[in-house]
Chain A
Amino acid sequence: MDVSTFRGGSPAPPADPGTPPPHPDDPGPPLPHPDDPDLWFAELYRRHRSMVFSAALRLTGSHADADDLASETFLRAFRAAAAYGAPRRADLRPRPWLAAILLNAWRNRHRSATRTPPPLLLDSPLDRPDPGEDVEAAAERRETGGELARLLALLPEKQRAAVVLRHVAGLSTAEISTALAAPEGTVKSYISRGLRRLRALTDLEEAPHAGPRT
């Protein structure tokens, strides 16, 4: 089904489950329709909604906050891209660009949310169940996702952002370097320190013979 056409009143189609995620270093083909901001956006959303929503969910820790953050990210992206004009839209590298918008929005929310007490880390579930989640996915989340997702909240902001973008959202370190406006070596350091801290908090020891993956 063409993502640019939806039945009135019906939700967007689910992702094609047969489509493998892109390799982190593969930016994919350029987005079509740079001359039409609406069609360009429809394809941007179709390709990158999972990356944006996954990162939003694991940065915020709740489906409701992830809804807010992901929708704000896409709306900011559309408004910026509509003002760019076709040539700049054609040249845009969407993943680091979206990630930068997401991180800015997240930090702004993070800082203005000081009125909200920080979430309790281990004795209250941050990860409210998604009503649309199927039984198998819910079981999976309870077994590993919920606990690990809660532990992500213990990481300092930049380590958390780098680990989530690299290992949950699947961005390359070069893309994260662009998104964070930090040298790639610094990004690798954030990731490796974040992973080390997570390992210390979980029993997920690094597999023997597996080199550190940053």
Chain B
Amino acid sequence: MPDPAPDPLTTALAGLAVDAPPHLLDRVAVRWARVPAPAPLGEVAVAFTDRGVCYLRTTGPDFAASFHRRFARPLLPADHAPDGVADALHGGDPGAVRLDLTGLRPFQADVLTAARAIAPGEIRPYAWIARRIGRPRAVRAVGTALGTNPVPLLIPCHRVTRSDGGIGEYVFGAAAKAALLHAEGAPIGGTP
């Protein structure tokens, strides 16, 4: 018995199927890659969207979990980080790296923008940031905003220290902060 003739309407409907455009995945998922980092960190994981780097933390089993808690998006491995990231972590121009900071609260965005202006070898107190963003009494909140910096090193929050000469806290720990500042020749007391 011959097959029945195909129905032209359902055949035409089937012809309306298309493949998803290549950019669709970029709207959903974030990609990540390992990048060598200055001592004592050794290596960091960098997550990035098609707009830029959105997250940087030390590599390890906690990286994906902390990323998911913060962003709630799929995290897929990439072959390499965006151009300029490795250079920026080793003395190159961090301004050359595009950052995707969408989703930050305005206060934190202001704090991080101010911190990004501090050059290697320099340090500024938390109160300096607070004054610079027009919130001179928000010194403690500045510390909190820097402590949850999504892209440390690329935004050098380690260059913000306490007014009394103390090193202050850091997302990678105070010892790492002291080591980074020492390596940059910043005016901090003693060796880490």
For the complex formed, measure the closest distance between the CB of A12 and the CB atoms of chain B, giving whole angstroms.
4
Whole-angstrom distance between the Cβ of B74 and the nearest chain A Cβ: 4
Contact of A145 (CB < 8 Å), options: B15, B24, B77: B15
Is B39 close to A, CB under 8 A?
Answer: no
- Residues of B within 8 Å of A187, CB to CB, are none
A8 CB within 8 Å of chain B: yes
Q: Pick the contact of B7 from A15, A145, A210 — CB < 8 Å?
A: A210
Question: Is A74 on the interface with B (CB-CB < 8 A)?
Answer: yes
CB A97 to nearest CB in B, in angstroms, measures 16
- A38 to B74: give the CA distance in the assembly, Å: 5
- Which residues of B sit under 8 angstroms from A195, Cβ to Cβ? 9-10
B90 within 8 A of A: no
Cβ–Cβ < 8 Å partners of B7 in chain A:
206-207, 210, 213
User: Interface-forming stretch among B78-86, B113-121, B181-189?
Assistant: B78-86
Q: Is the CB of A7 within 8 A of B78?
A: yes
Specify which chain B residues have a CB less than 8 angstroms from the CB of A52 in the assembled complex. 20
With A8-B82, A195-B9: A149-B21 Cβ-Cβ less than 8 Å? no
How close is A13's CB to chain B, nearest CB, in angstroms? 8
User: Which residues from chain A sit less than 8 Å from chain B, CB to CB?
Assistant: 4-9, 11-15, 21, 37-38, 41-42, 45, 49-54, 57-58, 63, 67, 70-71, 74-75, 78-79, 82, 130, 132, 137, 140, 144-145, 148-149, 163, 167-170, 195, 198-199, 202, 204-211, 213
The contact sample of 15 A-B pairs, CB cut-off 8 A, is: A9-B50, A37-B74, A42-B74, A45-B25, A49-B24, A53-B18, A53-B21, A54-B17, A63-B21, A67-B27, A74-B24, A78-B28, A130-B21, A168-B17, A199-B9
